[in-house]
A and B are shown apart, each in its own frame.
Chain A
Amino acid sequence: MSNPNAIVHIQDAHKVYPLGHTEVVALRGINLTIERGEFAAIAGPSGSGKTTLLNLIGCVDVATRGEVIVCGQATQTLSDTVLTRLRLLKLGFIFQSFNLVSVLDVFQNVEFPLLLQGKLSKAERKVLVESIIEKVGLTGQRGQRPAQLSGGQRQRVAVARALVTRPELVLADEPTANLDSETGERIIDLMRDLNHAEGTTFIFSTHDPKIMERADRLVHIADGRIVESTR
């Protein structure tokens, strides 16, 4: 990896899924470098490979061929345990469908990654979780369960959960797709503010032109290939 400021470096990455007796090629030779502190959007139509690319960067999947380096580690050589640890310590995730744990309340959902890390005391966790909940504007809802929240509030919880561990990189797969445009913009504003304030790198996928406009960097993908990358 030649660029010391790169948090993600992808070199000729291919991803092929078996489908019965045939194969589906999701990514065909992706080359991409994302630098620390970037607020980058990956855009493209449905089925273009956005989610697969995010999966590779998020270490929840590995490339069939090529090299994917995340936070300085070549993911295809790592075991499941090491990949899990990398996700826990270095990455944060925001999902299109929020993916909160339905039986935990707002505080517990946000606190959960810290519990998995097991580094902080109960009191330290409380301070950290309450501050991040305040940042996303959900102090009044801290004891509520996801089912009691609106879509926008749930996504704020997801943002807080993604950021509570102070990850180096946050991946958001179409974070506004299930929200109305106004709420979606607020979520992007929130992510943007946190990007500025904390210096956290954000990579998110979208096909909403309004959201794309907010990114520092726009990567267009089609048929599993990067067709354009603009800053």
Chain B
Amino acid sequence: MTTLLIALRNLIQGGRRTVLLAFALVLVTFLLIMLDGISAGLEATMIRSATTLSSGHVNIGGFYKVTAGQASPVVTEIPKLRALVAEKVEGVDFVIDRARGWARVVSETHSIWGALSGIDIDEERGLKDVVELLEGDFDALRADGTVMLFTGQAKRINAKLGDTLTLSAPTMGGVNNTVDVRVVAIARDVGFLSAINIFMPKNTVRQLYQMRDDASGAVHIYLKDESRAAEVSEALRPELAALDFRLMDVDPRPFWMKFETAAGEDWTGQKLDLTTWREEVSFLLWILTGFATLRWLLMTVIFVVIVVGIMNTLYISIRERTREIGTLRAIGMTRWGVRRLFLAEAILLGIGAGGIGALLGVATSLLVNAARIHIPMEAMQAIMMTDVVHLEVRGPDVALSILIITVVTAIAALLPANLAARLRPAGAIHHIG
């Protein structure tokens, strides 16, 4: 207790030197919280958007091959699969299935390729939260032969609400088929996933590909705790095998990257493919990895500067307090006691300044979120899958930031503290500072 008291009072007595050092630590913690907030916000937005637009937390997808060389993203016996999920998977929030396809979308003047998502709008609990409609109505998607476009898509093919478009794609039998659809909704873009995904009723996709009623593209399972996705996926594998479903080998890539692999394999009929949301959006994770790398590079440079600053300050402090250290050693304080004294100063400084920096960081993050600051660049909006800045502040991250600052400060104090502990008491007592 007295060690802490001495440490605290020495910090206070340090005056301007302590204030400057504390200010630097406050700034670094603030920066750490903000970067964490941006990173976590980016991750949360991407996961939420990606899991809503193109994946569940766990997906039972797969391919159906009429001939060995042609693979369609079709899963049959959907009711049986959904019943299995309902019976065997715990912690499920909700389950949907979507038909999948890849088709040319033709307007009167232009055409684009798009990834078709055949949905039952009444089942889609997440879609309505993530997708903001600018024109039209979600309910209109109940009717067959309708489609929802995103703004960018509508612009590219010059389509408006009420226009009729033609979808064109080869069926599983290898014959080209077309279906006409009416634009009933236009939604705000949600990053670059909204550039390729086109939503329409499930039956419309079935009609285009001439699929059976029990066939769809994939069963998407949404869990109450998304972190259990890999565990649930692993657990489902033997359950599916037990029901005589054939399974593709584990391949942590999104389903659309597996067309060639599936088509190149020598089998026909149905094979299922189990994936998690992380695997389905793995092509997006480089953004998170890149940002995390950049963040740690920046933080490493800042930490080096901070460590040098703390060491320098403590060396000066030790020189000024050499006689005090000698006296404490003479009256019976051990070397470890002296080390503890300087480490306590560093730790107190780390906790105090880290705490203030964290508070400022959290307050600023909340203010930024409340202000709904618009992201001005479209490219940034596409990458971040949102048009407003969102900082995700998580309690454990804040605590970790304070801990990191405190540990770094303590590590920086180790060498000076060791130097202080190794001072010869005889010389130190008579030191003239």
Which A residues contact B (CB, under 8 angstroms)?
Answer: 51, 55, 58, 60-61, 80-81, 84-85, 87-89, 92-93, 95, 97, 99-104, 108, 111-113, 115-117, 161
Contacts and interface: CB of A to CB of B under 8 A. Distances in A.
Q: Which 3 A-B pairs have the closest CB atoms?
A: A88-B332, A103-B9, A61-B426
11 contacts: A60-B330, A88-B331, A88-B332, A89-B332, A93-B331, A99-B326, A101-B327, A104-B6, A112-B2, A113-B332, A116-B333
Contacts of A103: 5-6, 9-10, 12-13
Contacts of A115: 2
Interface in B319-339: 323-324, 326-335, 337
Contacts of A84: 329, 332-335
> How large, as a class, is the contact surface on chain B?
20 to 34
B21 interface: no
Nearest to A52: B426
B425 interface: yes
B426 A101 contact: no
A108 B4 CA distance: 13
A116 B332 CA distance: 7
Nearest to A92: B331
B339 to A, nearest CB: 13
B332 A117 contact: yes
Nearest to A103: B9
Given A60-B426, A61-B426, A99-B429, A104 B331 contact: no
Interface string B240-279: 0000000000000000000000000000000000000000
B430 interface: yes
Contacts of B334: 81, 84
Contacts of A87: 330-332
B5 A108 contact: yes
Contact of B330 (A85, A93, A102, A117): A93
B13 A85 contact: no
Contacts of A51: 430
A50 to B, nearest CB: 12
Nearest to B3: A115
B206 to A, nearest CB: 80
Given A60-B426, A101-B327, 9 more contacts: A58-B330, A81-B334, A87-B332, A99-B429, A102-B13, A103-B13, A108-B2, A113-B331, A116-B332
A112 B331 contact: yes
A81 B10 CA distance: 26
